[in-house]
Structures are given as C-alpha cells and as structure tokens.
C-alpha cells in the first residue's frame, strides 16, 4: 500500500464524499489512489473554484470540505477560497502536493514554503513528512477544522512521501472520529444574564452565523417567541427567524442607517447569539457604546471597545437560551410589534416602486423569490447585488441564502452553487452574481455542464464594479476605473453547452426564470439592473428622521 492510499483511506473514514481540485504532477499518487476508493474527484477548472466548492460544502454541512492542489501555483490559487472559509468559519481541509523531501532544502522548481504561506489564513497547517504520520495528522486536521469556531486547515504532502510503500500491518489504521462536547452554560452566568434581561425595556436579539453553525435556530425561535423579543440578523444569520414571522426585523449590514439598524439604535439590551465580529463590526451598530450586551456563544467574546459584554453565557446555545427564558417574564408586545411594523412598512414602500427598465434590484429580488420554493438555496456572490439580497431577499430557514461576509470574496457564487447542487441534487440552486463576480470564476460553468447540474446563474449586469462605483459616487460625486466590457453572456453560456437567456424588457424576468429552472441543466440569465437605485436608497435613508 502507498502512503497516498492510506491518506485516501483516512479521508474516507472522515466521511469525505468529494475531493475538489485540479490534478498535478506532484499529486499523481493521490489522484490515482482515489480510483480505488469511494471518493469522487471533482475536477475543476481552477483551484480557486475548488476551494470555494469545499468552502460552501463545509458551510452547508458542518463537515470539512476537501480541496486538492499541486505545489507552487496550484497551491497559491487555493489561497482566496481557503481564506474565505477561515474568516467565514466554514470547515475546510486543503491538501497540497510538494516537491520531494530531498529538494526542499534548496531553490527548486515551483517550490515555495507552503506552511508559511498558509499560516495566516488557517487554524492549523501541517506537513506529512512520513507515511506513519498520516492517520494522526488527518484526524487532527478534521477535528480542528470542524471544532467551533470552524475554519480552514492545510496539509502538505511531498510527492516522494505520497509514493512511499508502507506495510499495511505496520501502520496505525484511521483514527476514530471524535468531536469535543460543547459544555453546558454556567448557572451563575445564566442568573446574571436573567437579571440584565429583567431590567430591559426594549431588548433585541442579534442572531449571527454561529446560530446557523450550531443548528440552534429552533432555540432562538423558542426564546424570541416566548419572551416577545424581536430578532435582527447578520447577513450570514439570515433565516434564523423566518422573515414571515412578526418578530423578524430582517438584517443589519447595509451601508447607512437602514430600517433595521434604527431599531437596534432604540434597543437598550442586545442579546448577541452566535455573533462574529467579522460579519458586521460592533462600532457600526453600537457606535455610542450604550447597549447592555449579553453575549451567548460557545466562545468568549473578542475584545472590542464597542462590544463590552455585561454578561457572557458560554456553552451550548440551545441550553443557554432555554435556561434564560425560564427566568424572564414575556415583555410587552408593543416594542416588537412597533419595530416590525416600522421596518416592514419602509421595506414594502421601497419595494413598491415602478418596475422600470433596467429592473430595480428590489424588483429582481421579488420576482426571484416568487418563483422559488421555500427550500431553494441561493448562493450570493460579492458585489452590490449582495447588499440588496442580504437586505431584502426573504428567508424562511438558515442556509437558504448563503452570503460570504467575513472575507467577502468575489467569485464564490458559481463554484459554490456547484457544490450545493452536488450536495442537494433535488433542490433548486441559484447562483446570484454580478457580471464582475461571474467572470472571476465563469470557467466553472464547464464543470457544471460536465456534471449535468441543473443550477441557474442569474447575472445582475451593469458593466462595472457596482459597490465601488456606489461608494465613489457618494464620496466624490464621480466614479473612477470601475467600468468594463462583457462578453455576450447568452453566447458564452451556449458555447459551454449551457442554456442562455437574456432579459430584454420589464416583464420578461419571471417567465425566463421559470423556463431556466425547468431546463434540466445549467442555465445562465443575463439581467440588466438599474444600480442608480443604490444612491437613491442611500439618499432615502438619510431623509428618514
């Protein structure tokens, strides 16, 4: 047995289904070993796409997605997706090949120090220097990647080590999979938090990505409904409280003092549940440092001048919230009802504007939501459309609108949709992207066609980097260096063997969406968008007292 066979056996033992990557010379033994396993190698067109696929797989399942690259440029191409997983707290294991051990001491073709390169963007990275290390190293990699708070891990394996023959009877078999148990919350801290809540007049729950990671949304819903506390979400916490629920205040994170942010301003106590600073900095929602903060999470809060915690309740989120609810009487419903009415009325009024042409972002979101079933999964790229989708796309469950908002890496939508469609073949998967983000990884359209995945890519086309144009206009009243040209997206899609559609009028989007969803294969929709709405909405928010 080769060391590469042992590595693959350990990956099987960890429950790995797919290995996303690009084959290379220094990983010949590994890709050959896959043929003798239950793993399926998903050949991508770029290593960044492979890392994004592993990233989204990890975020959706809570189990580490795995990506593979060769050394040198293959490994450097993984960087953006690995960093995205690490900052978005998605479990990921990246494996890269390396030169033979006898070449590492001197300047060598394509050799760079990969552990040093990956160190700032991973929780841990290790070098498999001998075959005997493989079972322990792989188990450690997956345990660290998946343990709260999850993130990325990198493993390097030199090509001569991967090819080395080992006596199967002399090596340790794959180690038993174990996960640390999340502790119960301290009764003392629960009692202190109860005292804070009893003194609240306008409490508010800030639900973050940690709620989704811990699958604790039902506990948040029980807690909020029992005590009549409204819930505002970070972009990555969308769906914790269904947006149809009268306690949902949608999201915070949109530039400016958005409608939900105004309700946060009025709150006196904020119960931050599973909240990560990388999602939306505390200085943006607690600028005056006047909120009494109850921090409910598995991990202690980081240090921040705008996030001085009154009480930290650490441990299992569901247990913590259930025990808090036992000690607090329900609040008067007027606060929650008034907050929901204010936010809902403003969003409804804004969305009720004319259809116009090109389509306003609000209109695109309404039509997309109307044609999708409740369990559809939307993967959102980074750009101006992300801000609109995070703000206005209604969600009824977590992980039904995925948004990268820790690292916020452009190019994630299409490869992420590939991973999501592999994972959920019977669900509707839509990649929502701008023309800028789409072109960063558009080559993965060939991967989707090859795998015969029925996903839909909805491109919001404006011929520029919309967020940057927006911010330049607000600051300087002019734009600079943000315009670009695009290919004919319909012809581009058809060249790959996908379906291509172009929206050419204000009434065409809905029928095209329905047809694309029925097409049975990858489909690309080119939809012009009116991003003049960006500045118009910013001006509207400034005028609201």
Domain count, the chain: 3
Residue 533 to residues 115, 159, 218: CA-CA distances in angstroms?
45, 54, 36
How many other CB atoms are found less than 10 A from the CB of residue 103?
16
Is there a single domain that holds both residue 230 and residue 320? yes
Task: Give the angle subtended at the CA of 90 by the CAs of 85 and 93, to the nearest 5°.
Answer: 70
On whether both 529 and 387 belong to a single domain, the answer is yes
What is the average pLDDT across 306-320?
Answer: 97
Euclidean distance between the first and final Cα of the chain, in Å? 72
Domain boundary among 289, 311, 341: 341
Residue 293 is part of a domain; what is its CATH number?
Answer: 3.40.50.1220
**Confidence class for position 243, pLDDT limits 50, 70, 90:** very high
List, in sequence order, every residue forming a beta bridge with 432; answer none if it has no partner.
Answer: 380, 458
Domain end point (choices 341, 363, 390): 341
Same domain (yes/no): 22, 152: yes
Residue 110 has pLDDT above 90, yes or no: no
Q: What is the pLDDT of residues 113-172, one digit of tens each?
A: 999 999 999 999 999 999 999 999 999 999 999 999 999 999 999 999 999 999 888 788
Q: Calculate mean pLDDT across residues 484-490.
A: 98
pLDDT digits (tens, 9 = 90+) for 512-538: 999 999 999 999 999 999 999 999 999
Q: What local confidence, expressed as pLDDT, does residue 101 receive?
A: 85
Question: What 3-state class would DSSP assign to 312?
Answer: strand
Q: pTM score > 0.75 for this model?
A: yes
Q: How far apart are CA 413 and CA 478, in angstroms?
A: 29
Q: What are 36-58's pLDDT values in tens digits?
A: 999 999 999 999 999 999 999 99
What are the phi and psi torsion angles at 281 (to 5°)? -60, 140
Interval 335-354: pLDDT, tens = 999 999 999 999 998 888 77
pLDDT tens by residue, 176-188: 998 888 999 999 9
Q: Which two tokens stand for residue 336?
A: 């929650």
Would you say residue 84 lies in a domain?
A: yes
Is the same domain home to 163 and 30? yes
Domain that holds residue 191: 187-341
- 103-112, 120-129, 162-171, 440-449 — which is least confidently predicted? 103-112
Per-residue pLDDT, 351: 85
Q: pLDDT digit string (tens) for 5-18?
A: 999 999 999 999 99
């Amino acid at each position: 047995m080769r060391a590469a066979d042992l590595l693959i056996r350990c990956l099987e033992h960890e429950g790995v289904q797919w290995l996303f990557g690009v084959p290379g010379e220094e990983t010949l033994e590994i890709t050959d070993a896959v043929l003798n396993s239950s793993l399926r190698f998903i050949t991508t067109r770029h290593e960044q796409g492979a890392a994004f696929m592993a990233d989204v797989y990890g975020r959706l399942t809570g189990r580490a997605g795995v990506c593979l690259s060769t050394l040198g440029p293959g490994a450097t191409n993984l960087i953006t997706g690995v960093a995205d997983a690490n900052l978005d707290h998605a479990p990921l294991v990246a494996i890269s090949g390396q030169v033979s051990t006898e070449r590492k001491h001197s300047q060598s073709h394509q050799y760079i120090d990969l552990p040093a390169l990956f160190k700032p963007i991973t929780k841990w990275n290790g070098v498999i220097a001998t075959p005997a290390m493989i079972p322990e190293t792989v188990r450690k990699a997956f345990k660290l990647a998946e343990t709260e708070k999850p993130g990325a891990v990198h493993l390097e394996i030199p090509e001569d080590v991967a090819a080395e023959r080992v006596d199967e009877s002399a090596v340790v078999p794959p180690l038993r999979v174990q996960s640390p148990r999340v502790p119960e919350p301290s009764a003392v801290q629960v009692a202190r938090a109860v005292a804070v809540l009893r003194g609240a007049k306008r409490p508010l729950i800030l639900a973050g990505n940690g709620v989704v990671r811990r699958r604790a949304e039902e506990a948040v819903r029980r807690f909020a409904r029992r005590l009549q506390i409204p819930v505002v979400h970070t972009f990555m916490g969308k769906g914790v409280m269904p947006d149809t629920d009268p306690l949902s205040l949608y999201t915070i994170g949109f530039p400016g003092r958005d409608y939900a942010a105004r309700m946060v301003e009025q709150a006196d106590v904020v119960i931050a549940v599973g909240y990560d600073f990388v999602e939306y900095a505390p200085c943006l929602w607690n600028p005056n440092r006047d909120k009494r903060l109850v921090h409910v999470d598995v991990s202690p809060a980081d240090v921040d001048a705008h996030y001085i915690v009154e009480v930290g309740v650490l441990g299992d989120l569901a247990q913590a919230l259930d025990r808090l609810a036992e000690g607090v009487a329900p609040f008067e419903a007027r606060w929650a009802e008034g907050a929901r009415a204010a936010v809902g009325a403003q969003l409804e009024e804004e969305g009720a504007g004319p259809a116009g042409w090109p389509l306003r972002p609000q209109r695109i979101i309404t039509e997309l939501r109307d044609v999708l079933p409740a369990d559809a999964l939307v993967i959102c790229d980074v750009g101006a459309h992300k801000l609109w989708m995070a703000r206005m796309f209604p969600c009824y469950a977590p992980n039904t609108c995925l948004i990268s908002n820790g690292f916020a890496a452009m190019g994630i939508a299409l490869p992420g949709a590939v991973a999501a469609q592999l994972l959920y073949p019977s669900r509707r998967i839509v990649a929502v992207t701008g023309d800028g983000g789409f072109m960063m990884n558009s080559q993965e359209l060939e991967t989707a066609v090859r795998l015969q995945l029925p996903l839909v890519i909805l491109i919001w086309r404006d011929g520029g980097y919309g967020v940057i144009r927006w911010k330049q206009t607000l600051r300087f009243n002019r734009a600079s260096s943000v315009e670009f040209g695009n290919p004919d997206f319909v012809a581009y899609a058809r060249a790959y063997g996908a379906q291509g559609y172009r929206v050419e009028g204000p009434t065409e989007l809905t029928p095209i969406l329905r047809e694309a969803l029925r097409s049975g294969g990858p489909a690309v929709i080119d939809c012009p968008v009116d991003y003049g709405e960006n500045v118009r909405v910013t001006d509207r928010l400034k005028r609201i007292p």
